[in-house]
Chain A
């Protein structure tokens, strides 16, 4: 540890939490099959660790940078750790989201589901610890060790139900892409250390690379971290792995783990590399927009609720990267206040997305346990049997749809504001293109609303599409508590954006040298530059809306009456209404399929009017899978077949190879 002057440092606190998580995980192994102990004691302790990490992160944001050297690792290669504002902000996000997820998980896991509870507890807490470790690592060696441990623990968590072949396949795809990405990151660090042989981040910061090599490092970072974040075209693992994992794990992966990739991108782009170039930003804008649009369009046509959320995560990652790209463009033209605004939007969205996406994944977990059904076509009407889950989910749905006064709207607002400031760019082509980017962002945000109405409406509203749904039970109190925490976080982020941005201010200061916090007047109005320019006051907003609703309610009752009569649904007088006549998930996807047809690879089987047993089938596939992954896989298989010609399976042949090699070498040396 760093010899401090006896005072307590946030970095010590982070290490203490990591230690606690490791201890919790190991106790889980000690009590491998004692289900109640693991669920009711260990997971809540882990949740308390998350809460502590949230507090420590908050202290660390304002605390300035601290470093430490841990005496573990290889000889001569110790772990360097560093806690600065950027890491502290991500620690806050990890802590806040994992606290809710851990409490939920305490009530979620059931006996006899794949991996034994104790082992699951170890994997889960190791996963948490490695995610926190990624953001405090300060040299390439430590970073890669925790990064790979994170990939491995999450792989084991994804394959918790490893007896199902489909889940094993999803896990394998995930592991493969995670490792291809890791190679990219490793090579990026290799470029960044510029032949000095010193892999600490401090050394990388000190290096000044030529424009060519810094562009190479940037490209490798985008490739490596993009693979982890699910950026197009490396997103294919995400819609497979998230539905396969148990819901609390999907929540952590989608809400938190994807953010560590965003952290890595920010760290390399704004901290380790100096002087960004404008076309990097343009590239990030293009990739981010493509991911956002593709994600939201595909989310709208999904029929599996967890797959829908996974695609929606791709959309949100796309929005985050768009914000980072815009910040890069501004930073390249030395328009630092605007870069700070765009970065603030992205960092704010990191927090809101972590909370609401975790919440939505947890809610799918509750639905899954209550109904054993993931297919949207077999759900419906759950608001009546699961009111708690439904109403808490509504908060997450509204936040995810980017509606005021919740958290999702604030980041959308900030992002659109930073686009509206762009007219002063000293680059005419960018000046022309950027309004179009803003237009597409608006389209993505509006489509997100469509997706969320579909998600909530099909699962919770309407009539139950299956008989068994009427017997669905509401979530237990631990699950409710975990979800309530996340919902409260989404509401707080939406109502108090100014206070949150004060905590983001040190982060943007450390990255681009300035922030937007100083420009925020008072405590209630969000006005990044001036009130005359743009302002948004969520509390006034909520109060105004609530007064409007309340007055309407009171006056109607006072002036008229409050009588209600219950009757069968009207439906234009049609009496034989059944649950199967409701719009289905496919039906809600149909307009999207029609409008965005070029984005899909679609196979349709329509019944003819003369079919005795009419069948309707539509298969939607990702064209990128067929255009990029299939040919690559075929190519690899061909190469392997050629290499395979050498493998004869007989020892004599292999000895012959050795002999020929030796002779060849001798000839070469003697020459």
Chain B
């Protein structure tokens, strides 16, 4: 482990923390533009975070310590997830600590804590949100694992860094399993990040809420941390998707020029990806909650088909 790879690690975390709200702002801008509205400023998410951090935190009078710990746990988990995903370079000192299975486990830990916190105050909407969040979680998690497995069968590794390295270095072979996995991954990411066909991040109607219902009782700095964690999660999922399906442009060696180039490539890829996400969201309508299992079961089956296609062609 050299000083530069350590630097690359710190840089990856810093870039994630700094760029994540920007990505959310970018997606929101495109969503507004596509609906012929005047878009909010690109920096709006930062202003929101600053405002929330400055406000007092109002907590229900009978909330337990779990309620106050949960935002920090969620934030810590998602930040750690961003540290092990190869966003800029594949030579990360933290990467051996968690492979893709551990990464999925880490995101599940964050989800369980936010769901428990939502149940803690004991309001109708909180427990409803917790139930729905866990429902989507248990449907999306196996699908996500299957996507990751079908890629890991290609690279013979579940370590994300190794997976990305083999995918970049491959000759121009087309793996027929990958497109299935890619579509499944997009569907799972939409569900996991509370995007439109499954959940609407901009909704004001409590009965249709999932993620927003979970965090209704939060305010002030706790809410800010959760909002930040939500943008970090979107950033993390985007980076996993880019790393698996568009792995080109990552720094193989942690040199300053390579890192700078990788940063530029990342920003361009995220900009395109964010716009595509906004387009996808604008084109689809939100579905009823009990259509979601079908949606995610489709994603799951697509991922399994990808896996089977790979085993068939490899055999």
A contact set with B: CB distance below 8 Å: 380-381, 383-384, 387, 394, 398, 401-404, 409, 412-413, 416-417, 420, 423, 428, 431-432, 435-436, 438-440, 442-443, 445-447, 449-450, 452-454, 456-458, 461-463, 525, 527, 531-537, 540-541, 544-549, 552-553, 556, 559-561, 563-572, 574, 577, 579, 581-583, 587-588, 591, 594-595
Which A residues lie within 8 Å of B221 (CB)?
556, 560-561
Contact between chains at A457 and B94 (CB < 8 Å): no
Q: Which residue of B lies closest to A422 (CB)?
A: B311
19 contacts between A and B (CB under 8 A): A387-B64, A404-B106, A413-B101, A413-B102, A423-B314, A439-B146, A443-B138, A461-B116, A461-B120, A534-B157, A544-B80, A549-B73, A568-B61, A569-B62, A570-B123, A582-B122, A583-B127, A591-B132, A591-B290
Of the candidates A432, A527, A548, which one forms a contact with B308 in the assembled complex, judged by CB atoms under 8 Å apart? A432
Instruction: Enumerate chain B residues within 8 angstroms of A570, measured Cβ to Cβ.
Output: 58, 60, 123, 216-217, 219
Q: Please report the C-alpha to C-alpha distance between residue A563 and residue B53 in the assembled complex, in whole angstroms.
A: 10
Shortest Cβ gap from A434 to chain B (Å): 9
Q: Which residues of B contact A403 (CB under 8 A)?
A: 105, 108-109, 112
Which B residue's beta carbon lies closest to that of A296?
Answer: B138
Per the bound structure, the CA–CA distance linking A561 and B137 in Å amounts to 33
Task: Verify if B12 is at the interface (C-beta below 8 Å from A).
Answer: no
Chain B residues in the interface with A (C-beta under 8 A): 53-54, 56-62, 64, 66, 68, 72-73, 75-77, 79-80, 83, 94, 96-99, 101-102, 105-106, 108-109, 111-112, 115-116, 119-128, 130-132, 134-135, 137-139, 141-142, 145-146, 149, 152-153, 156-159, 162, 206, 216-217, 219-221, 225, 290, 293, 300, 303-304, 307-308, 311-312, 314-315
In Å, the complex CA distance between A457 and B117 comes to 9
User: Which residue on chain B has the smallest CB distance to residue A457?
Assistant: B119
The answer to whether A537 and B112 touch across the interface, beta carbons within 8 angstroms, is: no
A527 to B159, CA, bound (A): 10
Contact A446 B57 (CB under 8 A): no
Give complex CA distance A570, B67 in Å. Answer: 14
Are A546 and B315 in touch, CB under 8 angstroms?
A: no
From A383, A547, A548, A567, B66 is in contact (CB under 8 Å) with A383
With CB as the reference atom, state the residue of chain A lying closest to B229: A552
* B122 and A463 form a contact (CB under 8 A): yes
Check B99 against A534 for contact (C-beta < 8 Å): yes
Do the beta carbons of B142 and A443 come within 8 Å of each other?
A: yes
A92 to B74, CA, bound (A): 36
Q: Please determine whether A533 and B162 come into contact, CB atoms closer than 8 angstroms.
A: yes
B115 near A544 with CB under 8 A, answer: no
Find the B residue at minimum CB distance from A300. B138
CB distance from B198 to the nearest CB of A (A): 14
Q: Are B138 and A537 in contact (CB under 8 A)?
A: no
Partner of B77 from A394, A401, A545, A560 at Cβ < 8 Å: A545
Across the interface, name the chain A residue whose C-beta is closest to B304.
A439
Which of A453, A532, A545, A564 touches B112 (beta carbons < 8 Å)? A453
Q: How far is the CA of A552 from the CA of B228 in the complex (A)?
A: 11
B contacts with A: majority SS: helix
Known: A383-B64, A450-B138. A537 touches B97 (CB 8 A): yes
Q: Is the CB of A594 within 8 A of B112?
A: no
Chain B residues near A442: list those with CB within 8 A: 141-142, 145-146
Q: Tell me how far the C-beta of A1 lies from the nearest C-beta in chain B, rounded to whole angstroms.
A: 48
A560 touches B53 (CB 8 A): yes
Q: A439 contacts B60, CB within 8 Å?
A: no
A402 to B101, CA, bound (A): 11
Minimum CB–CB distance for B250 against chain A, Å: 16
* Closest Cβ neighbor of A534 among chain B residues: B158
Whole-angstrom distance from the CB of A553 to the nearest CB of chain B?
5
Asked whether B62 lies within 8 Å of A384 as measured between CB atoms, the reply is: yes
Partner of B76, one of A409, A436, A545: A545
Q: Assess A536 versus B60: contact at CB under 8 Å? Given A417-B158, A435-B308, A569-B121.
A: no
User: Is there contact, CB below 8 Å, between B127 and A532?
Assistant: no
Contacts of B146 in A (CB 8 A): 435, 438-439, 442
Min CB distance, B162 to chain A, in Å?
5
What residue in chain A is nearest B66 (Cβ atoms)? A383
Q: How far is the CA of A412 from the CA of B308 in the complex (A)?
A: 22
Which residues of B are found within 8 Å of A447, using beta-carbon distances?
138
Report chain A residues within 8 Å CB of B83.
544
Give the Cβ gap from B94 to chain A, nearest Cβ, in Å.
Answer: 6
Q: Which 10 interchain pairs have the tightest Cβ spacing? A: A462-B122, A583-B127, A548-B76, A549-B76, A463-B122, A442-B142, A540-B97, A457-B119, A537-B97, A446-B141
